[in-house]
Amino acid sequence: MHYRTLGRTGIKVSPYALGAMMFATSFGNPDPDDSARMIHKALDAGINFVDTADAYGDSEEVVGKALRGRRDDVVLATKFGRQVGDDPHHQGASRRWIVTAVENSLRRLGVDHIDLYQLHRTDPATDVEETLSALTDLLRAGKIRAIGTSQSLASDIVEAQWVAERSGLARFRAEQAAYSLLNRGVEREVLPLAERFGMGTLIWGPLGQGLLTGRVRKGERNDLRRTHLLKHLTDERRLDVVEQLVPLAAEAGLPMTHLAMAFVIAHPGVTSALLGPRTMPQLDDLLAGVEVRLTDDVLDRIDEIVPPGTNIGTLDQNYQPPAVHDAGLRRRPLAERAAA
């Protein structure tokens, strides 16, 4: 396994990272011992980057237990910010919640520090200076080693960098973004910005959250449990593109999963891409593609099918800023809408 530096942190991480969302027993793998075996297999294969979140059910507990005795071998990342429980304060990026959330994650993981602590979603209700101030204090206290964001808009990345410089606070050192053969929008601004500011990037959804596994084909039934829950798995535009990518993968002599993963980590702005297996066979399949290297000819063909910087549809779980999901922010009061 080759290793890449996470931005300018000096932390060395594997190009494949292990995403732990599907290790939650409530909606992922119900057997924590099986999840532990997968974690150990990934570590033995050279993967040293593990990512989870406080909002992923009991994933942090499962990961923490599996890492006992191997903590020093792992760059451990977790996230905060999404709703946890029923208390309205148990979410967001306020100092009040951050200092509580980090202690909860440390306890569940059974560790004394977190290597990368990430804001799971932008919090429009909290000034980014307050967020950075609280995270800076945690860095100085030794409870976290680096800080990052997830699904940020390009404008949010720039604002946070400016605020950190102006106020003498710690800077976000990593961004976790959605990127795949079907969702290339981050190539326009987010990935170039990350490179400009010396931020590492951790990619989620490199398999299109199921569409790029080879198990979902247009006009055919599939065994994915999420098909009836996620709209992007039945989006005709996305399925049409998959049907163009399948023969390309076959011509290259690759399974769809290997084509998809190799495409993502070929971008110079990408540090690591998350594997999100639920079962051992899924992990085995993904690990078998670690040596795949896409040629320029294959990448050119991909560019013809999905032009650089474009998205084919939208992932259900992708962050939508308030101005997009709240109609009231796009519409003046009725009495003020006319020009005269």
The question of whether 3 is a catalytic residue gets the answer no
- The active-site residue, picked from 56, 117, 179, 319, is 56
Task: Give a three-class secondary structure readout of the chain.
Answer: CCCEECCCCCCEECCEEEECHHHCCCCCCCCHHHHHHHHHHHHHCCCCEEECCCCCCCHHHHHHHHCCCCHHHCEEEEEECCCCCCCCCCCCCCHHHHHHHHHHHHHHHCCCCECEEEECCCCCCCCHHHHHHHHHHHHHCCCECCEEEECCCHHHHHHHHHHHHHHCCCCCCEEEEECCCCECHHHCCHHHHHHHCCCEEEEECCCHHHCCCCCCCCCCCCCCCCCCCCHHHCCHHHHHHHHHHHHHHHHCCCCHHHHHHHHHHCCCCCCEEEECCCCHHHHHHHHCCCCCCCCHHHHHHHHHHCCCCCECCCCCCCCCCHHHHCHHHCCCCHHHCCCC
User: Could you give the residue numbers annotated as active site?
Assistant: 56
